[in-house]
Amino acid sequence: MEADPDKWFHDRISKDLIQLHSIKEVLYKGQTKFQSIEIIRTGSYGKCLVLDNKIQSSELDEFIYHEALVHPALISHPNPENVFIAGGGEGATLREVYRHNTVEKVTMVDIDEEVISICKEYLPEYHQDSFKDERTELYHTDARQYLADSKEAFDIIIIDLTEPIEEGPAYLLYTEEFYRIAQEKLAENGIMSVQAGCATFNELLNFSAVFNTLKTAFTEVHPYQVDIPSFGGSWGFCFASNNVKPVMSTEEIDSRLQERGVTELRLYDGITHQNLFALPKHLRKVLESQTKLITDDQPLYTYSG
Amino acid sequence: MEADPDKWFHDRISKDLIQLHSIKEVLYKGQTKFQSIEIIRTGSYGKCLVLDNKIQSSELDEFIYHEALVHPALISHPNPENVFIAGGGEGATLREVYRHNTVEKVTMVDIDEEVISICKEYLPEYHQDSFKDERTELYHTDARQYLADSKEAFDIIIIDLTEPIEEGPAYLLYTEEFYRIAQEKLAENGIMSVQAGCATFNELLNFSAVFNTLKTAFTEVHPYQVDIPSFGGSWGFCFASNNVKPVMSTEEIDSRLQERGVTELRLYDGITHQNLFALPKHLRKVLESQTKLITDDQPLYTYSG
Amino acid sequence: MEADPDKWFHDRISKDLIQLHSIKEVLYKGQTKFQSIEIIRTGSYGKCLVLDNKIQSSELDEFIYHEALVHPALISHPNPENVFIAGGGEGATLREVYRHNTVEKVTMVDIDEEVISICKEYLPEYHQDSFKDERTELYHTDARQYLADSKEAFDIIIIDLTEPIEEGPAYLLYTEEFYRIAQEKLAENGIMSVQAGCATFNELLNFSAVFNTLKTAFTEVHPYQVDIPSFGGSWGFCFASNNVKPVMSTEEIDSRLQERGVTELRLYDGITHQNLFALPKHLRKVLESQTKLITDDQPLYTYSG
Amino acid sequence: MEADPDKWFHDRISKDLIQLHSIKEVLYKGQTKFQSIEIIRTGSYGKCLVLDNKIQSSELDEFIYHEALVHPALISHPNPENVFIAGGGEGATLREVYRHNTVEKVTMVDIDEEVISICKEYLPEYHQDSFKDERTELYHTDARQYLADSKEAFDIIIIDLTEPIEEGPAYLLYTEEFYRIAQEKLAENGIMSVQAGCATFNELLNFSAVFNTLKTAFTEVHPYQVDIPSFGGSWGFCFASNNVKPVMSTEEIDSRLQERGVTELRLYDGITHQNLFALPKHLRKVLESQTKLITDDQPLYTYSG
C-alpha cells in the first residue's frame, strides 16, 4: 500500500479557498534582500519557484505562462529586434524571446540578483542557458528607474513581475506613472506585454486594475487569458500598444512563426491566439464594470496573508 | 478581528492536489439509492451540490457549466424543437434549454429521483421552476434503456452526468455501445452535447476517452473547454453530430440568439463560442495522442478516492 | 473502498499546530449575544460543542473534563451541601455535582441563555435532565456580579468557563479581583475548583497565570491535570481553598465515594486522584517559573485566531 | 504582517483525526533498507525524526519519551550494571541509561545502521556523544536473534522500537515468543521496559495488546503512561519483571537518583513516578477489558495509512 503524501504546501488562494500541493522535496529555502524564496518539488506540478509564499511558476506548466506572456506581443510586431524585460528572474521569458530569430538584443532588468542565481542553479530547464546568449544584457537594479533613464527605443517591453502588493518589490511597476514612462520608450509599432494576475471572474480586481491603468497611457489595450493549472485557474495578461492590435488570422500567425524559426512551441499557435483574446462574456463584463486605477499614491491592496 | 474559517471541504483533485473550500453551512446531507448527496454553502463559491464527495456544481459558477453544455449545441441547430436530457438533476440544464423559444418538448431522464427532489428544495436558483414547465416530461429510470426503447427522433441530446467511474451510476452512458444508440435517435441535423470532465492538460484521460469514444459513433466530434473555477480549472465538453459542425461566425451566433429570445446569458455569446472551440495547442496535442476507448466491457478507471 | 472524509474541522491549537477532526454532521450553527456556537458531530470524538471556533467539550471525553473539574473538590469537602457554578452551560458539571447525595442546592449562573437552551436540545447526554432537578437555581446574568451581591456562603464554587481572552465573555472571572470576591463567599472548609486551560508544557501560560492569580487570594492552591484527547492533550485545573488540601489516601477517597452513592464514575477514583495531583516534574517547574498575574486591568492575552 | 506558515506535515493520527505541524525546514529525506526516514524542523516541536511518515520523536519533548522509557526500570533495580537496548536509533535512550553511574555495559542492537548514522549527524542533541562511550557495544542485526543467541544475563532490557505493524521492521519484537526469549535473558531482579504506543483511551489496542502479551511471559507487568504532546497525547509503556514491582516511595526514588548521580532529569523524579503508574480509571478499565495477544502468527493490525 502506498502511503499518502505527508508534507503539503498550503497555497492560500483566498480567505475561503486553499490549494494543497504535496511536497516531494524542498530543494532550496532562503531569504533575499527583497523576498523569501523557495524551490520545492511538488507531486502535482514538479519543481516550483515560490516567492513570498506564492507559487510563481511550476516546471510542468511554466510553458503556458511564458509562451502566453511573450508570443502574442512578438508575433504581432513585424520585426521585433530590441526587447526589454522587467523581472523575469527564472530566465524562461528570455528563452521564449530568443525563439524569434529577429531578436538582436534583450535588456533584462531584475532587481533581485539572488533569485536569478538560485533559478540558474535549480531551474536549468527554465532558462536553458539563455542567460549566456551574447545578445543578453542583464542588470540588477530598479527596472523603472532604468527604463526612465534609458535613451533606447524598444520594440517590445515585457513586464514579468510578482503582483502589485504594496509591500512587494514590484508595486511601482504597475502604476499609471510607470506606464507613461514605458509608453514613451516604445519604438514605432512597439508593444508592451504585462502579466496581470488571476483571471477568475470573482477575483478579477488585479486584472481589471492593470487593464484600466494601462488604458490611461496606451491607445490599444487588449486583455487576454489562459488556464494555468498550477496557479489554480485562469490567468490574465494585457497587450498594450500605441497603434498595434493583436488581430491576425490563424494562418498569418502560423506562417510568421514558421518564417522566424519558432517551431517548438507547446501552447501557442494561430488557433491558440484566437482562444486567448476571445474572452468569455462574463470576464469581459467584469473587466468593463470595474474601474479601479493604480497610481504611485494609490496602490492596489490585495491579499497578502 | 475576524477569525479564520474553521470548517473546510477537502476536495481531492488528485493524489497530490487537494482543494479546501471553507464551509459556511451544511444545508443537507444524505444518501440516495445511488449516491451520497450533500448541499453545502462554501465561502468560496456559495451553495454547492456534492455527489459522492465531489462538487458537481456551485451557485457562483454553475452558469458557466450549464451554458457551455447547452448553448453551443442548440445554437448550431437551425430549429431545435425536441430535446432529450440524460441526468441534469439540478434542473439548470433544463432552464438553459428553455431559453430558446424554438423548444417544444424536453424529455429528461434522471435515475435518481431523490437528487432532483433535494435540488428542487435547496437549489431553487438552479431550476427556476423549469421543472413545472408544461413542455417537460420527467422520468426516473435508466436513461440508456429509455433512449434505446424510444421511438422518437431528437434534435438535441444532452448528457449531463457524473463521471464514468465504474462504481458510479453513470458509467454505461459513456460507452461506444451507448453512443451508437444515441446516434440513431438523433433527427436530421441532430446534435449531442456531452460533459466530458477535467480538461487540465495533465489530467486529460477522461476528456480524451469521451472524445475518442464519440468518434466511433459520430462523423463530427468537436471538443471544447471552459474554465470553471469551482471545479479547479478547465473543463471539457464534446459536440457530436452526424453532419453539423459548430462553425458559425460571431455575428451569426449573436443574431440567432437574438431571434430566439436568448437574451440573459452570462457566459455564452458569439465571441465566447470562438473561445470555447479554439482549444490551446497543448490540449489539442494531448487529445490526439491519447487513444483510450470506453466500452461496456472496459470502463475508464479514474480516481474514486 | 471507503472514501476519505471530505469535511474537516480545523482546530488551530497554535500558530504552528492545527488539529483536523472529520465532520460527520453539523447539528447546529448560530450566534448568541456573546459568542458563536456550533454543535458538530466529528468522526473522532462524536458530538462537540464549539464556542468561538474552539472545541469546548466532546461527547466521547467530556466525562474526563467534567469529572476532573467536579470530584476532587467535592470529595475533599467533608459535607458539600451548597454549590455555586459559574458557567457550565452544557449541564454536565451540574450532572456530576448531583452524584454526591450530600448536595442540597446548586446555584448556577451562566450569562448565555442561548447556549444552555441549545445544549439542552442537542446534548441531552450531557445534562441528563439535571436542569430539571428541584435543587437547581439557574440564573442568566453576570456570575461575578451575582456572587458579589450574594449573601450566601458556599461549600463549593466551580468555575467552568471559556478561556480568559480579553474579547471573550469570561475574562473578568479569572482576575485577582474576582478571586478575592469568590474567596469571601466560601463557607468554612469551602473549596473552589477552576478550569485552567491547556497544560502542555510549552503552552502553559494560561494555566500558570490562573495558578499564580489564585495564590494572591487563597492560602491553599493546588494545580492538577489530566489528558483530554479532544482538547489535543493535557488539561489543567486548580483546587483552591482557605484551609483544605486535596490530600487523601486512595482508600479514603474510594470509601467516601461509596458513602455518598457516587458509583458510576468513569475517570475518577482514589488512584486517579493521586495521578491528577502528582504533576510531572517539567510541569511543576514551568508553573513555578512563570509569574504572570491576571487583574481587571491586565488581561492575559492568548491566541484568539 | 507575519505570513502564515505555508508548508505542513500532515500526521494522520487516525482516519478521523489529522495533526498538522508547520514545517520550517526539511533537513534530510531518504529511504533506508528498512524504512523511509526524514528529519524535519517543525514550528511546533523543533527537529523531528520521522520514520515511515510517523513522528518518532521531537527535539522539544523527546526528553519525556526517553526519560519515561528508561528511568522507572533503572531506578527500580537495586544495581543496574548490564543493559540491553533493542532499537533506540536516536541514541537518546543510551544517553538516559548512562546517567546512572552503576551502568557498566550497554549492548544496543538496532537493525537500521543508516537511521543511526543520520541521527548522529542531524540530532546531536539526542545522543550527546553517548555512542562514543566505551561501555557501548553497538550491533546492526536482528535484535531478536541477537538476544536469543546471547549467553549474557541482563539487568535491564529496553525495547525502543516503532510500532508492531506487520509490514514494519519491528513486529517480531512484540510477540509472545519474543517475550519468552527476553524473559529468559533477564538476570535476577531483571526488568524489561517496553514502549507500548498510543494511550488515548479510545485508541488503546496497541497498548493493551503489548500489556496482555507481556503477561503471558512475565509475573509482574505494570502499565504506565505520560503525555507526549508531539505524539498527540498520552503515551503508554510497560514495566515487566519476574519479581520486581515498580513500587517505591517518592523519597526513596529521589534519594536513589541522588546516590547514582542522576541530577539533570527534566521529567522524572519521585512525584512523577507516582503519576506515571497511577493510571486513570478509564484507562485501567479499557486495558482490563481488551484481551488481544500478539504472536508470531497473529500480528496486531494497526492503521498503516
Compute the average pLDDT of residues C264-283: 97
Which of B17, B265, B279 minimises the CB distance to A19? Answer: B17
C63: Cβ contacts below 8 Å, ≥ 6 apart: C266, C267, D282
pLDDT tens figures, B136-153: 999 999 999 999 999 999
List residues bridging with C228 in a β-sheet. C233
- Kindly report the nearest CA distance between residue B86 and chain A, in angstroms: 27
Coil, helix or strand for A37? strand
Q: What is the pLDDT of residue C139?
A: 96
Q: Mean of the pLDDT values across residues A180-194?
A: 97
CB of B4 within 8 Å of a chain C CB? The answer is yes
Assess B1–C contact: CB distance below 8 Å, yes or no: yes
pLDDT digits (tens, 9 = 90+) for B163-199: 766 555 678 899 999 999 999 999 999 999 999 999 9
Q: Which of D281, D284, D285, D303 to mutate to test the interface with C (most CBs of C within 10 A)?
A: D281
Report whether C95 contacts C66 (CB < 8 A): yes
Is A160 annotated as catalytic? yes
- pLDDT for C184 equals 97
Residue B130 DSSP class: G
pLDDT digits (tens, 9 = 90+) for C90-137: 999 999 999 999 999 999 999 999 999 999 999 999 999 899 999 999
pLDDT above 90 covers a percentage of chain C that reads 78
Mean pLDDT of chain A: 92
- In order of A247, A284, C117, the CA distances from C37 in angstroms are 57, 42, 12
Provide the shortest C-alpha distance from residue B43 to chain C (in Å). 14
Query: Across the B/C interface, how many CB contacts are shorter than 8 Å?
Result: 59
D230 touches chain C (CB under 8 A): no
Q: What is the pLDDT of residue A298?
A: 83
* Count of other CB atoms within 10 angstroms of residue D101: 10
Nearest to B8 among C3, C10, C305 (CB): C10
CA distance C201 to C282: 7
What is the model's pLDDT at position A227?
A: 95
CB of D201 less than 8 A from some CB of C = yes
Q: What is the pLDDT of residue A12?
A: 84
Q: Which stretch of B169-173, D197-201, D280-284 has the lowest confidence by average pLDDT?
A: B169-173
Active-site choice (B52, B160, B227, B269):
B160
* Partner D contacted by A168 (CB < 8 A): no
Can you give the pLDDT at residue C2?
Answer: 44
Residue B149 identity: D
Say yes or no to pLDDT of B5 above 90: no
Contact indicator for D289, D281 with CB cutoff of 8 Å:
no
Please report, rounded to a whole number, the percentage of residues in chain A having pLDDT higher than 70: 95
What's the pLDDT score for residue C5? Answer: 79
For residue D101, the model assigns a pLDDT of 97
pLDDT at C53: 85
Is a pLDDT exceeding 70 seen at residue D141?
yes
Task: Assess whether pLDDT exceeds 80 at residue C301.
Answer: no
Predicted confidence at residue A14, as pLDDT, reads: 80
**pLDDT at residue B145, rounded to an integer:** 95
- Judge whether residue A232 has pLDDT over 90: no
C17, C42, C278 member nearest D19 (Cβ)? C17
Taking an 8 Å cut-off on Cβ atoms, the answer to whether D12 and A4 are in contact is yes
The residue ranges of DSSP E strands in chain C, in sequence order, are 7-14, 17-31, 36-42, 46-51, 54-58, 82-87, 105-109, 136-139, 154-160, 186-198, 220-228, 233-241
Of the candidates D111, D32, D95, D87, which has an alpha carbon nearest to the alpha carbon of residue D63? D95
- Can you give the pLDDT at residue A54? 85
Domains and CATH numbers, chain B: 8-56 (2.30.140.10), 62-289 (3.40.50.150)
* Chain C residues with beta carbon closer than 8 angstroms to that of B23: 7, 23, 26
> What are the strands, taking DSSP E only, across chain D?
7-14, 17-31, 36-42, 46-51, 54-58, 82-87, 105-109, 136-139, 154-160, 186-198, 220-228, 233-241
Question: With an 8 Å Cβ cutoff, is C11 touching chain B?
Answer: yes
Neighboring chain B residues of C301 at a CB cutoff of 8 Å = none
Q: Which three cell numbers stand for residue C185?
A: 463567599
pLDDT, position A140? 95
- What is the model's pTM? 0.81
Interface contact A270, partner B, CB < 8 A: no
Whether chain D has a CB inside 8 Å of the CB on C46: the answer is no
Q: Kindly determine whether residue D42 and residue C16, on different chains, have CB atoms separated by under 8 Å.
A: yes
- Mutation target to probe the C interface, by most C beta carbons within 10 A, among B4, B6, B303 is B6
Question: Which residues does chain D have within 8 Å of residue C41's beta carbon, measured at their own beta carbons?
Answer: none
The pLDDT value recorded for residue B305 is: 35
Among A110, A155, A160, A269, the one annotated catalytic: A160
Q: What is the 3-state secondary structure (H, E, C) of C176-203?
A: HHHHHHHHHCEEEEEEEEEEEEECCCCC
Arithmetic mean of pLDDT, B251-258: 97
Q: What mean pLDDT do residues D42-63 have?
A: 92
- Report the mean per-residue pLDDT for chain D: 92
Write out pLDDT tens, residues C142-155: 999 999 999 999 99
The Cα A8–Cα D260 span in angstroms is 47
Q: Which residues of C touch D16 (CB under 8 A)?
A: 5, 21-22, 42-44
pLDDT for B1: 33
B-chain CB neighbours of A58 within 8 Å are none
pLDDT at B169: 62
pLDDT for residue C305 = 35
Exposed (0-12), middle (13-18) or buried (19+): which is B248, by Cβ within 10 Å? middle
Chain B contact set for C29 (CB, 8 A): 25
**Rounded Cα gap, residues C102 and C262, in angstroms:** 11
Quick one: pLDDT at residue A300?
73
C-beta atoms of C52 and B3 within 8 A: yes
Is the per-residue pLDDT at D93 higher than 90?
yes
B277-305 confidence digits (pLDDT tens): 999 999 999 999 999 999 988 877 654 33
Q: D8 pLDDT exceeds 90?
A: yes
Asked if A7 lies within 8 A of D11 by C-beta distance, the reply is no
- pLDDT value, residue A168: 59
User: What CA–CA distance (Å, rounded) separates D39 from D184?
Assistant: 37
Looking at the partner chain, which of B6, B40, B52 has a beta carbon nearest the beta carbon of C53?
A: B6
Task: Give chain D positions within 8 Å (CB) of A14.
Answer: none
d(CA B92, CA A257): 43
- Using CB atoms, which chains have 3+ pairs under 8 A with C? B, D
* B234, pLDDT greater than 60: yes
pLDDT at C167: 56
Residues C177-205 have a mean pLDDT of 94
Q: Each residue of C217-240: pLDDT tens digit?
A: 999 999 999 999 998 889 999 999
Who among A8, A19, A281 is closest to B272 (CB)?
A281
Convert the pLDDT of each residue in C196-221 to its tens digit. 999 998 889 899 999 999 999 999 99
> Mean pLDDT, to the nearest integer, of B82-105?
97
Residues A219, C206: Cα–Cα separation, whole Å: 63
pLDDT band at C304 (very low <50, low <70, confident <90, very high): very low
- Kindly provide the ipTM of the predicted complex, given to two decimals: 0.91
Q: A93 CA to chain D: closest CA distance, Å? A: 27
- Checking if the pLDDT of B56 tops 60, the result is yes
Contact A31, A50 (CB under 8 A): no
Look at residue D191 and tell me whether its pLDDT is greater than 70: yes
Residue A301 pLDDT > 90: no
pLDDT classification of C1: cutoffs 50, 70, 90:
very low
The answer to whether D42 faces chain C, any CB pair under 8 Å, is yes
Among positive and negative, which fits the CA dihedral C239, C245, C251, C257?
negative
The distance of B1 to chain C (nearest Cα, Å) reads 8
Question: Which residues does chain C have within 8 Å of residue D271's beta carbon, measured at their own beta carbons?
Answer: 278-281, 284
CB burial of C61-92 (b: ≥16 within 10 Å; e: otherwise) equals: bbbbbbbbbbbbbbbbbeebbbbbbbbbbbbb
- What is the pLDDT of chain C when averaged over all its residues? 92
Phi, psi (deg, nearest 5) at residue D275: -60, -50
- Which residues, in sequence order, are CB contacts of D115 under 8 Å at separation 6+? D32, D34, D35, D37, D51, D89
Contact B7 C12 (CB under 8 A): no
Res C171 pLDDT > 90: no
